[in-house]
Amino acid sequence: MRTPDRTSFEVTPSVPTESLNARQIRIDASPQTSADRRVLHVGRSATPGVVERAEAGEFDILTAEPTRLIHAGRTYEAASAPSLRRRPREKTGRPAWVRWALQRYLLLTPSPNRQPVIAEALGTTQQSVSRAAQALQGLVTDEGKGLLAPDRARLLEHWRSEYAGPGGQEFGWYGLDPVTEQVGQVVNIAALLEVHALVSGDVAADRLAPWKLPMRGRVYVAGPIDLSDDGFVPAPLGEATLITCVPRDPTLWRLAPHVEEAEGSDGFPIADAAIVHWDLLMSGDQDSGEAAQQVSRLLTGGR
């Protein structure tokens, strides 16, 4: 690991857990732990007692809520490092997954569909779809054949302005193989582990609307997978060649096309075009904006 002040050290990360408590610390402790390579206890959160002991230098911890590393008694907060990736503005309140998914559905399906059909596709109730449609007055119409977005470009702009993003936990990995091969390897590993995976970002965009050479891989997975034994090493998100993400948005899996329907996918399970468009916009990588515009044409019917 390398800290913001460029201090480097080696750790052995534990299996991530929901909450780091005294019992979990004892379970993760290794008799082989040395001063040169300490165990890094990883969890979504940590109890006050564990944080206090880590600050006293007894052991190292890494948490997601808040994002914080405590190593050798020194605390490194996420705010102390510069932001490496563009982030959407902070959303408050309960995520409107159904409303946001309805907008993606209408962008992905140019023909009208009735609410029961949409509800089944989104894995929700007809009442939820009806409420979501009512909240989109002016963007969605129903002329008897089903819901339809008459101005898909306007709907895409509206969805981008209010969508909070897939969210979830991100894990950075670094590999030496071409990015497309790295993504293919992760998809295969996920299949062996029976973990649902979806390809997004550069590689998915290259399959949907070729424009730029893939520079970084992005794969959504239903649960964390360890790639350290398969030619990858953990890396900061800003330096990673591949990012895996366990998303909060449950609708990613509902709207993804079947592999055989994703033209040119080469067997990759690809996320829906709206999510690929979003990830390109948020990546901040060179040429991602232009690539996002190419994907947006698929969603709006533009040429």
CA dihedral 196, 202, 206, 211 (to 10 degrees): 160
Question: Of 43-47, 155-159, 287-291, 298-302, which one has max mean pLDDT?
Answer: 155-159
pLDDT of residue 78: 66
pLDDT of residue 38: 82
Q: What is the pLDDT of residues 73-121, one digit of tens each?
A: 889 886 533 334 445 554 556 889 999 999 999 999 989 999 999 999 9
Q: Residue 87 and residue 68: Cα distance in Å, rounded?
A: 19
pLDDT of residue 240: 94
pLDDT of residue 302: 61
Q: Considering the chain, what is the average pLDDT of its residues?
A: 86
Q: Residue 14 and residue 20: Cα distance in Å, rounded?
A: 11
Tell me: pLDDT of 7 over 80.
no
CA distances for 120 relative to 200, 201, 231, 272, angstroms: 24, 27, 40, 17
Q: Residue 262 and residue 96: Cα distance in Å, rounded?
A: 27
pLDDT of residue 297: 92
Q: Do 263 and 191 contact (CB within 8 A), yes or no?
A: no
pLDDT of residue 303: 44
CA distances for 212 relative to 37, 117, 269, 279, 290, angstroms: 40, 36, 20, 14, 8
Q: What is the pLDDT of residues 171-205, one digit of tens each?
A: 999 999 999 999 999 999 999 999 999 999 999 99
pLDDT of residue 83: 37
- The alpha carbons of the chain give a radius of gyration, in whole angstroms, of 21
pLDDT of residue 82: 37
Beta strand pairing call for 74-77 and 67-71:
antiparallel
pLDDT of residue 264: 45
Q: What is the pLDDT of residues 196-234, one digit of tens each?
A: 999 999 999 999 988 888 999 999 999 999 999 898 999
Backbone phi, psi, residue 19, to 5°? -140, 130
pLDDT of residue 92: 55
The tokens of 65 are what? 């809520």
pLDDT of residue 254: 94
